[in-house]
Amino acid sequence: MAEADYVIVGAGSAGCALAYRLVQAGRSVALIEFGGTDYGPFIQMPGALSYPMNMARYDWGFSSEPEPHLGNRRLATPRGKVLGGSSSINGMVFVRGNRADFDHWADSGAEGWDYAHVLPYFKRMETWHGGNGPSDYRGTDGPLHVTRGPRKNPLFDAFISAGEQAGYPLTPDYNGAEQEGFGPMEATIWNGRRWSAANAYLRPAMRSGRLQVITGFARRVVFDGDRAVGVELTRRRRTEVIRARAEVILSASSINTPKLLMLSGIGPAEHLKDHGIALRADRPGVGANLQDHLEIYMQYRATKPVTLFSYYNFFGKGRVGAEWLLRRTGLGASNQFESCGFIRSSDKVDYPDIQYHFLPLAVRYDGKAAAEGHGFQAHVGPMRSKSRGTVRLASGDPETAPEIRFNYMSHPDDWTEFRACVRLTREIFGQSAFDDYRGDEIQPGAAVTTDAQIDAFIREHAESAYHPCGTARVGAADDPDAVVDPELRVIGVKGLRVADSSIFPRITNGNLNAPSIMSGEKAADHILGQGMLAPSNL
């Protein structure tokens, strides 16, 4: 395919959804993706989630520059390099975000991105399999299946009960009427398989005959005057251009999208000049406003052998894998994040600013280090850090990885919020619901109590939750720091849009896969110009 109506860069969460809706409307689409196939058990088995994000075959392998407020550590920044993008290597947790997140977007200039306007797109994209009946907040016939784990392990319900005993509400559906509280966690898992954007959207779109997936390395957007007309890429050791009859859309992640914009002459003028790139549009917001969620793992020993540690060995993993391969059932059919919580750190906070993922195993997220013996943990961290970072070019060479500086923990409020995470988590695990299971605190450790001690632990052990966003934010067209207008058109040029987590003005509460897919769904209607879904004022 030398040309198509639309050329999309990135077959990830937003790109797959966007391609699906465009071909549904009868348009032809060329979808450029550098990564390869997502077939294979490491991706498709939910229980194997720690593997693909640590495999060079599936991950771009980015890491941050040394983070000065975290002991100059370089933190891993996985991004999917595979069909489905990061939806093929993530933890499969499904969180839309809080209604107040999207209302804040609109208040900051993203007209039409308030909760009432995005809710119809969240509903359109999903088929919901949770709860005890239909909900006005949930979708019933979308491509993305959203399910809940069976919670057979008693620790899952113990965590929910402990939250209630600590004085927090219960929420039957944190993606519905009320996010705040403790309850079951939802996942993009269906019939025992990871239900990535590739499975939900890409494969049905390919069957239409109007979509071609092109394996290649996107180098820059090609312009005719001030209009984007295609994408230059390298494939089969040749450089060529795939031309767009209508528009080019970048859905390449909050790391690669700003990189491509800058390589194409759209970004901070001085920075582009430093790398010998001719300026096309001076947009200082490109690569700025970088945000992420940090988290720590609060770990406890278990006094009963009810955790996943029994399977955390060669033979145990073999049994789990065999059952999944034969029947798509068992522990391998779950991501093991089956209960969760969203709470406020104090009564001065308007809506939840702390998130919990509970796991019935004491282990690092990358699976590389498990506690010796039975244990359990909560991943916990603040939701709305005030710290901001940047993505910048390290070179004018497209094949050079960008420089990523999150500037984690650079705002003093981050430390106050993180200390609250530690102390409130101890209160929750101290409830009677855990009396039959709770042993010693593995980390931070019972002796870590003062502000200084907690800060030292955070500095050494805080890890990214892998939720980068915000580097090409949506805003009013006359906002000098906005990169795209509310219809996701890149300001200062024509024929070019962005649809992925880059556009988020502020990070949402929880994991970012769901709002990233939503951005692709909503972008399609902006692009097609056939009218938007009616707002839903629930």
DSSP string, 99-144: HHHHHHHHHTT-TT-SHHHHHHHHHHHEEE--SSS--TTS-BS-SE
How many domains are there within the chain? 2
Tokens of 538: 């629930």
Do 126 and 178 belong to one domain?
no
- pLDDT tens for 415-438 read 999 999 999 999 999 999 999 999
CATH number of domain containing 451: 3.30.410.40
Do 305 and 374 belong to one domain?
yes
β-bridge mates for residue 218, sequence order: 233
Percent of the chain predicted with pLDDT > 70: 99
For the four alpha carbons of 426, 427, 433 and 436, in that order, the dihedral sign comes to: positive
**3-class secondary-structure state, position 193:** strand
**3-class secondary-structure state, position 217:** strand
Do 286 and 332 belong to one domain?
no
Q: How far apart are CA 2 and CA 244, in angstroms?
A: 9
Do 474 and 457 belong to one domain?
no
Mean pLDDT of 118-136: 95
- pLDDT tens for 104-123 read 999 999 999 999 999 999 99
Do 154 and 300 belong to one domain?
yes
Determine contact, residues 434/158, Cβ cutoff 8 Å: yes
Do 239 and 173 belong to one domain?
no
β-bridge mates for residue 128, sequence order: 146
Q: Considering the chain, what is the average pLDDT of its residues?
A: 96
Q: What is the DSSP letter of 154?
A: H
Tokens of 81: 């390099």
Q: Is the pTM here over 0.95, yes or no?
A: yes
Residue 26: predicted pLDDT: 98
Do 332 and 366 belong to one domain?
yes
Residue 132: predicted pLDDT: 84
Q: 486 preceded by cis ω (within 30°)? A: no
Mean pLDDT of 177-195: 98
pLDDT reading at 77 higher than 70 = yes
Mean pLDDT of 508-514: 98
Lowest mean pLDDT among 9-18, 60-69, 102-111, 305-314: 305-314
Phi, psi of 377 (to 5 degrees): -155, 160
Mean pLDDT of 361-377: 80
How many residues are present in the chain?
Answer: 538
**Please, what is the end-to-end C-alpha distance for the chain in angstroms?**
44
Q: How far apart are CA 227 and CA 244, in angstroms?
A: 11
CATH number of domain containing 397: 3.50.50.60
369 pLDDT band, cuts 50/70/90, is: low
Do 456 and 477 belong to one domain?
no
Residue 183: predicted pLDDT: 98
Mean pLDDT of 248-264: 98
Q: Please, which residues have CB within 8 angstroms of residue 421's CB and are 6 or more apart in sequence?
A: 296, 345, 354, 380, 381, 382
Residue 1: predicted pLDDT: 57
Do 135 and 75 belong to one domain?
yes
How far is CA 218 from its chain centroid?
A: 22
pLDDT reading at 367 higher than 70 = no
Determine contact, residues 378/356, Cβ cutoff 8 Å: yes
Q: 398 preceded by cis ω (within 30°)? A: no
Detail the residues annotated as belonging to a binding site for FAD. Answer: 82, 90-93
Q: Please, which residues have CB within 8 angstroms of residue 173's CB and are 6 or more apart in sequence?
A: 130, 131, 135, 137, 138, 183
Do 422 and 518 belong to one domain?
no
Do 118 and 259 belong to one domain?
yes
- Axis crossing angle, helix 13-24 with helix 513-528, rounded to the nearest 10: 30
Catalytic residues: 467
Q: How far apart are CA 534 and CA 538, in angstroms?
A: 12
Going along 263-308, which residue ranges are E strands?
Answer: 266-267, 281-282, 294-302
Residue 370: predicted pLDDT: 65
pLDDT reading at 288 higher than 70 = yes
| Residue 330 domain boundaries | 150-184+294-382+410-461
Residue 131: predicted pLDDT: 84
How far is CA 523 from its chain centroid?
A: 18
Q: How far apart are CA 141 and CA 231, in angstroms?
A: 34
Do 133 and 176 belong to one domain?
no
Mean pLDDT of 475-503: 98
Q: What's the chain's Rg over C-alpha atoms?
A: 22
Determine contact, residues 144/175, Cβ cutoff 8 Å: no
Tokens of 524: 């399609």
pLDDT reading at 343 higher than 90 = yes
